[in-house]
Structure 1
């Protein structure tokens, strides 16, 4: 496996070195590079929430990188050395901002190298179709008629197949106990890449002929990305209808994947279990509809007090679970105290069972806190530990945080 990864990277570096010393780079190419880098950064910033979930959910299968829109546009506009700059900038930004340095660095380097080999292969295919094109000119200007369509389709196929084959090979090699077909990922991912290739071509045509309309295509890419994938993942997460939080099963599956990542990185992962104190009294006094308003308000308060990288789920009834990647038990306790304080000052306006408007106050939470690996090393054991800490908080007067194995916080 090590030899395979090193070989792919060495070939990518060799391609970069060979093209860097032989390919002329025009001033206009640098301008287009700047535009594509800015577009890719804006794209990732807008979609970072869903991309964190998609990348984690894709563990063990190829992670379909929708930055392919900009990478394939780079094939049609930029020489290979500048394609490498675009790819490197995108992966570096992704590692820093989307995954907050919690992705395995050598995996990202390997993935970037596979993308560079894919873009170089696609560039070579287009150059073979149009050998007379000035090396300083973008290849998109040469595409014309049916021949251009064939060249574009071939370049798109090479781009996808090179990257896909190299990544699938690595996944199969590192997961010998898993069925090989699982490494192929869902067939629908191929449609996403086909769409990305088409959009990449549209981006280049607009940038060459009507550059002032390019921002409209960026909006189009973002709209398709968020409009199509976000509902898909919300459905997959089986979002709780009352609170908008993810379901207990989805939360558990994501927690298991996050612990596996943390085990590789040597990072901690905090877990909180929260229970709304005396919730039955609220239902009995004001009615279940008012109780539902309280649950929604508490859920929103919890979400406001955690980071975008954290995962909040409804565990059942009036219980909530929070996953805190990269946070140890001390940090989890601080987060729990912030959440408890935020809930304590809530004023929830609701309608009681008589139809009268009421304001419900005096809410409190009992919280159990713990962290991987100090509290436990599996999701099940970690949940059992923080649940026991939660009941300890209940037994000792409620409205407090208890750390698993450490007493009151």
Structure 2
């Protein structure tokens, strides 16, 4: 934790402190009865069983989850049920119990999540729990408990419960998103919401928590069915995450070759319908094998990630960057305008790659790596190009020409008009608007 950026460290400590203070402050609002302890035991036992039955799925989910994606807490079924039917002290204890058991059972050896982040996640849930508890205590006539009959008062109480659930969810997600943004300064706002649809599953888990709260009060044996439903919910989340993982390259955050090809096909089809130019770039890092051989493959992965960030910073929102394979990248540029614009974009990308500075491993001083890229470019429409494969072949041929011409240069396909050399070229036509491009999803 102490190696985290200073802003992240301060933020984490502040949120943890608020969670601790709020938990202690609300613990005395409602006294604890023997019946409360019994209900806590039933809910806690169900939570432990559910965690045990889903721990393999949870482990896979965490490995698949991206760095800018928030953790989906399906344990909210039990912690939100505790908020509704138990005093604040026991509701907080349920949050701590579920996170503690999950940490011990889901990550017994290899732990992809640092402990301080797991504690921080628990703290954000505690903050939301205390806020929800205060709302329920102030507005619900049935607190702690759930409405037992359909009356005007019970309808009002249900509205209070929905508001408390929304508040708990918003506080939890909001605090986590701020932490992700501070940890990833280059992440865009839209990146933080890439899996927001998945986050709604946590809201669904809280709805299931309302059912669990009603059941534990009236007929606890029915909680077995909720445990089974929760296991099925976990599997559904995992399938969706695997679908996302198949679209995003884990090392660079760009689109996979398959997803990029799909997007480029759609772009070319639209270009044909509108008779609009489409550009395609293939970027290959020069002598990348030397980087891997000298500094190791983990550092080579850092280089790939750095190059990917530069690509995303240069292209537009409607463009698409993909990892074409190894040290090659591909960029589809719809509505690029003309060949001069295409050349300008390719040249700016080449310069960005050449300017990358990374701290090499092994305690060496910061140095500018001898990193460069060769770029092949092709433009549609052009003679002999009518399909995406032909456009890719044209760009790939231009890339080989760049490699054979000394590398660290841009070459245009012979199927498009040539442009003057860079020092004789007219003023660059900047087609890059504000914003940057995510990998297509």
TM-score by length of 1: 0.55
**Residue equivalent to 1:6:** 13
Q: Write the distance in 2 (CA, Å) between the matches of 1:22 and 1:225.
A: 34
Larger Rg: 2
| Cα distance in 1 for residues equivalent to 2:239 and 2:69 | 21
1:85 to 80, 90, 93: 93
Residues 133-158 of structure 1 show CA distances to partners (whole Å, capped at 9, x for unaligned) of 6xxx6232478532122112101110
1:157 counterpart residue number? 166
Please state if 1:377 is matched with 2:385: no
Gaps of 5+ in 2: 1-6, 254-294, 303-441
- Distance in structure 2 (CA, Å) of the matches to 1:58 and 1:33: 34
Query: Residue in 2 aligned with 1:196?
Result: 205
The answer on 1:140 being equivalent to 2:150 is no
CA distance in 1 between partners of 2:180 and 2:229 (Å): 32
Deviations 1:282-332 (A, max 9, x none): xxxxxxxxxxxxxxxxxxxxxxxxxxxxxxxxxxxxxxxxxxxxxxxxxxx
Q: 2:133 aligns with which of 117, 123, 139?
A: 123
Deviation at 1:55, TM superposition (A): 2.1
CA distance in 1, matches of 2:98, 2:132: 19
Equivalent residue for 2:237, pick from 207, 221, 229: 229
Partner of 1:112: 122
What is the distance in 2 between the residues matched to 1:256 and 1:30?
Answer: 49
CA contact (8 A) 2:58 2:234 kept: no
Give 1:157-306 correspondences, 5 Å limit. Answer: 157-226=166-235, 228-236=236-244, 253=250
- Distance change (3 Å), C-alpha of 1:189 and 1:236: closer
Segments of structure 1 that go 5 or more residues without pairing to the other structure are 239-248, 258-373, 382-409
Asked if residue 63 in structure 1 is aligned to residue 75 in structure 2, the reply is no
User: Among residues 21, 35, 48, which one is paired with 1:41 in the alignment?
Assistant: 48
Give the CA deviation at 1:206. Answer: 0.9
Q: Distance in 2 between matches of 1:196 and 1:80?
A: 20
Instruction: Classify 1:222/1:176 alpha carbon distance in 2 versus 1 (closer, same or farther; 3 Å).
Output: same
Count of aligned pairs: 249
Deviation per CA, 1:145-196: give whole Å up to 9, x if none. Answer: 3212211210111010111111111111111121133123423124312211
**In structure 1, what is the equivalent of residue 81 of structure 2?**
73
Give 3-state SS (helix, strand or coil) of 2:186's partner.
coil
Aligned to 1:304: none
DSSP-derived class of the 2:223 partner:
helix
Structure 2 Cα separation of the partners of residues 174 and 3 of structure 1: 12
Alignment equivalent of 1:19, drawn from 6, 9, 26: 26
TM-score (norm 2): 0.51
Match of 1:244 in 2: none
CA separation of 1:181 and 1:123: change in aligned 2, threshold 3 A: same
